[in-house]
Structure 1
C-alpha cells in the first residue's frame, strides 16, 4: 500500500512563473507580438494534412457534453493557453503546435469517448490530453496504449496508477486526496460519517481512500461504507430514499462524491433539514452553485480539489484566452493548471527527443518532469533553452506537482481545501501537500 505523507502549507501568495505571449487575432496562427495588451489569442487548429510526423499535434479528450461539462472550459483553456505559449516561444522543433479537440462525454455514455478515441488515433496525434473522468480514461487507455500514443490526464482513480507505460497524469491519485479529505473531516471534530457516493470507479475509489483515513483517525462510516452496497448509479436524478437512509444514521458529517447529480442531492438534504455546513465535497463537485441555489444554502460547507490555488495571473491569462477564442467568460479554473503543465511537458519531451512522435514523447516525458533530477525551469522557453544546451531539466509549472514517479503519477501534489461563502461559491482556504 502506498505510504502517504501530508503537510499543510499556505499557498495564498503562490507566484506563477509562467509568461504568456499572445497570439495575434489579425495574423496567421502562431504569430505573436511579444505579449502586447492589445493582442488577442486565436485558436491553433490543425491543418488537414498534419500528423505527429510533421507537427506537434495536441489532441484533447475533454468534456464538452455530459455531467462533467462544467470542467471542460478550464481544462480546454489550460491546453489552449499552453499551445499559444509554446508557439510564442518558437513552437516545437521549429514548427508550430496545433490543437485537435474531441468530446470525452462522461461515464453514463461511453460511446462518446470510444468514438473520440478512435478519431484521435486516426488523426495521428502526438499526444492525448484527457480525460476528466477516471472511468472514461479506463475506457480508452487500452486503445491509446495499443496505438502507442501517450495519454496525459488529470484523473485520480488509484486503479490508473502504473496502468500503462503510455498513461501519465498531472493530478495525484485518490489515495492522496482521500487521505487529505479524511484528515480534514476528522480534524473538524467529526466521528460518525455518512457517504452519498455514486457507483463509479472515481466515486468508490475516492470513498475507499477517504474512509481508510477516517477509520485510521478513530472515526467510523455509518452509511455508504465500502462493501455496504449503498452506492447509487451515475446519472440518477432523485435522492429522497438515499438521503433519508443516510440521515437516519445520525452522522456528524456527510460526504457527497458525485458529479452533476450533486445538484439534485443538495435540495433533498436541505428539504430533510440537514445542516449543509457539515457537508464535504470533492473535486468532482466542488464548484460554484451561485446560480443554482438560494444564497447561503452551502455556506460553511467544504470541498477538496487537487492542485495548488491558481494565481490571479494565471486566472487572467486563462480568462483572456477563453474570452478571445470562445467569446465567453471563464468562471471555473479547476484543473486548468494541470492541463497547462501536461501540454508543456509533452512539448518539452518532444523537444528533448528531437521528434513530435508519440514514441519520442513517451521516452522523454518522465525525464523533462525531473524524474532524473536536472536544472529547474518554469517556462517552456527557458526549459527549451536548457535542453538545447544539453542539460537535464525539471519543469516546474503552475500546478506545482513533483516529477513523475515509477507509476507515472506525480511524486508530490497539493490538495486544495475550499470553503463555501454566503453566495455558494467555494473559496480557497489552504492546501495540503501529499507525497506518494
Structure 2
C-alpha cells in the first residue's frame, strides 16, 4: 500500500540511484471475493471481462476520487488531493481533454481497512455516476474491497499508492502508478542484507499489504543466506489490523534473538515503537516501509528513532514540482502541504488518463483503457514530460512515452509500472526520515 514521504530533500530524484533488478518475482497469493489473500484461492476472473469497445464517448472526461478523508490513513489525502488537483489544473490550462475541461466528481471517502463499509458505500456511488476514471484507493486492502464494483462497470481505476502483489493483473481495467511490493520488498530485503543483518524478525499485520511485503522481503533475505526468526510466512504470527497493544508480539520477537526488527504496519507503529523501546530494543536496528516511514517528531521523544531506516516507493518531487504542489494546495485548501506521499503518482495517474483519452479520441472507459499502456511508453514512442507537450505529439500523429513525475516505467502486461524508484530513508534525532538515496527496481 502507501505512505509518507516526509522531510523530502531538494536533491534530484535520481541522486544516489543504484540498480536493483527483480527476476519475475510475484506473489503466489490471489485475492478472494472477500478481498483477502489466500494461497489456495482459485485464479481471479477479470471483473471487467464483459467490457468491450462500444460507442466512443466525446463528452467531458470525468474523474471520481475515492481517497482517505477519514480514518487512520487520512493524512494521505492532502498529497493525493494536491497531486490530482494540480494535474487537472495543468491539463485544463492546456485546453482540457478533447477541448473540454476535466470534471472531478464525485469526490468520495475510502476510509481505511478497519471499516470497509465506507469504501463500499463510496464505490456504489461512483459505480452509478458518469465518471469514466476513478482515482484511488490508497490502501490495497480497501481497493480489494471495491475494485470489482468499479471495474465491472467498465470504469478505469488507477491507484496512486496500492502496492499489494495480489492486485497485479487483477483486472484489465485496474492500473496503478505505484510499484508492486515485488519492487519495494526486494529493496527492503537488500537494504537489510547489505547492512550485514543475518537474523530478522517481522512484526507484521495480517493485511494484503503487510504480508505481501513481508513475503518478498523474506525471500530476498533468505536467498541471500539470512534467516527470519519471527513473523515468517506460514507461522501465523501476524497481528490483526487496528490492534492497540503489542507487549506479547514485541516480547516474542525479541526473544527470537534477531539482529534487526522490521515493522510492517500503519498507525499501529505508534504503539509498537514505544513497546520496543520499553523492552530495551536498540531502535537503530528497526526497519520500516512506506506504510509507516513517517514524521514522528510530534509522537515520540527526541532520539527515539535515530538511525532507524525505512523505504518509500517513488521518485522525490523535484524542487519546482514540489513548490507547485505546495502553492496549489495552499490556494485550493487554504492549508500548508507538508507531506508529499504519492502526490507525483496521483498527478501522473490523471495525466496518463487524459493522454489515453486524447490518443483514442474518446473519453469513455474502454477507449481510455485501451490506450493507457501506449501513452505510458510501451510502444517506445517519443518522450514527453508534460500534458501539453505530449498532446502536441499526439496531434502530430506520433506515439508518445509520457515521462512522469513519479519516475515509473511503462505499464506492463499486469498494468503495473514496469520499473520504479524506491527511496531509502534514515531517521534523524528529531524522528524525521531523511532521504539517503534511491534504488531503481523492475517489476518484471
Answer whether contact 2:58 2:361 (CA < 8 A) is retained: no
Corresponding residue of 1:244: 251
Corresponding residue of 2:335: 328
Answer whether contact 1:12 1:430 (CA < 8 A) is retained: no
Corresponding residue of 1:13: 12
In structure 2, what is the Cα distance between the partners aligned to 1:53 and 1:123?
16
In structure 2, what is the Cα distance between the partners aligned to 1:412 and 1:130?
20
Answer whether contact 2:10 2:319 (CA < 8 A) is retained: no
74, 86, 89: which one aligns with 2:91: 86
Corresponding residue of 1:130: 136
201, 219, 240: which one aligns with 1:194: 201
Corresponding residue of 1:59: 64
In structure 2, what is the Cα distance between the partners aligned to 1:302 and 1:251?
16
Answer whether contact 2:13 2:438 (CA < 8 A) is retained: no
In structure 2, what is the Cα distance between the partners aligned to 1:197 and 1:124?
39
Q: Provide, for residues 180-201 of structure 1, a one-character-per-residue CA deviation record: whole Å limited to 9, x for no partner.
A: 1000001101111001100001
SS in 2 for 1:105: coil
In structure 2, what is the Cα distance between the partners aligned to 1:105 and 1:425?
26
Asked if 1:176 is matched to 2:189, the reply is no
Corresponding residue of 1:20: none
SS in 2 for 1:78: helix
SS in 1 for 2:66: strand
Asked if 1:266 is matched to 2:265, the reply is no
SS in 2 for 1:407: coil
Corresponding residue of 1:203: 210
Residue 14 (structure 1) shift: 3.7
Residue 12 (structure 1) shift: 3.4
In structure 2, what is the Cα distance between the partners aligned to 1:326 and 1:247?
45
246, 253, 257: which one aligns with 2:260: 253
Gaps of 5+ in 2: 1-8, 15-56
Corresponding residue of 2:381: 374
Corresponding residue of 1:32: none
In structure 1, what is the Cα distance between the partners aligned to 2:154 and 2:206?
31
SS in 1 for 2:378: coil
Answer whether contact 1:11 1:431 (CA < 8 A) is retained: no
Asked if 1:284 is matched to 2:283, the reply is no
Answer whether contact 2:377 2:402 (CA < 8 A) is retained: yes
Gaps of 5+ in 1: 1-9, 16-51
In structure 2, what is the Cα distance between the partners aligned to 1:378 and 1:53?
25
Corresponding residue of 1:96: 101
In structure 2, what is the Cα distance between the partners aligned to 1:59 and 1:345?
15
Specify whether residues 14 and 205 from structure 1 end up closer, same or farther in structure 2 by C-alpha distance, changes over 3 A only: closer
Residue 56 (structure 1) shift: 1.2
Asked if 1:421 is matched to 2:421, the reply is no
Corresponding residue of 1:49: none
Residue 53 (structure 1) shift: 5.6
Asked if 1:407 is matched to 2:414, the reply is yes
Answer whether contact 1:106 1:133 (CA < 8 A) is retained: yes
Q: Provide, for residues 249-285 of structure 1, a one-character-per-residue CA deviation record: whole Å limited to 9, x for no partner.
A: 1111000001111111111111111111110001111
Q: TM-score, normalised by structure 1?
A: 0.88
In structure 2, what is the Cα distance between the partners aligned to 1:81 and 1:330?
13
Corresponding residue of 2:78: 73
Answer whether contact 2:295 2:431 (CA < 8 A) is retained: yes
In structure 2, what is the Cα distance between the partners aligned to 1:273 and 1:330?
36
Q: Provide, for residues 279-324 of structure 1, a one-character-per-residue CA deviation record: whole Å limited to 9, x for no partner.
A: 0001111111111111111110110011112222222111111111
Specify whether residues 119 and 53 from structure 1 end up closer, same or farther in structure 2 by C-alpha distance, changes over 3 A only: farther
In structure 1, what is the Cα distance between the partners aligned to 2:319 and 2:256?
43
Residue 122 (structure 1) shift: 1.6
Corresponding residue of 1:143: 149
Corresponding residue of 2:28: none
Say which structure, 1 or 2, has more relative contact order (CA 8 Å, 6+ apart). 2
Q: How does 1:308-327 map to 2 (within 5 A)?
A: 308-327=315-334
Asked if 1:357 is matched to 2:364, the reply is yes
